[in-house]
Amino acid sequence: MNEPLPPERPRPPSAPRHPAADTGAADAHFSAFYRATVGDLVAFLLNHGATLAVAADLAQDTMIKAYQRWNELTHPRAWVHAVASRALWSGTSPSPARSPSTT
């Protein structure tokens, strides 16, 4: 009665980079996203207990990661907030002094 499972389909190879990634178009889109988002991201981190210095550093680190993955992101605003929040609470920020304020 138990039928065997169909064989797993092979995973597709990594998608090639979007053609816009090699032009200034992707940079222009990211620049506009950065200007529109970084202030809100810093405020978000401040509201979650980070100091201003930590929030600014984490926002910058997160934006670098977003830029590196820009052509893969479908919801970049949500992505940067999730990545920055995880970095704040997991302690994966570059400096060990970057932990949320307990006051």
The mean pLDDT values, 10 residues at a time, for the chain of 103 residues are 52 47 79 97 96 96 96 96 95 53 50
Domain ranges of the chain: 24-90
pLDDT at 93 (0 to 100): 57
The pLDDT of residue 96 is 41
Q: Is 27 helix (H, G, I), strand (E, B) or coil?
A: helix
- Cβ pair 48, 85 in contact under 8 A: yes
Residue 76: which of 41, 100, 25 has the closest Cα? Answer: 41
CA distance 46 to 59: 11
Q: Is the pTM of this model over 0.75?
A: no
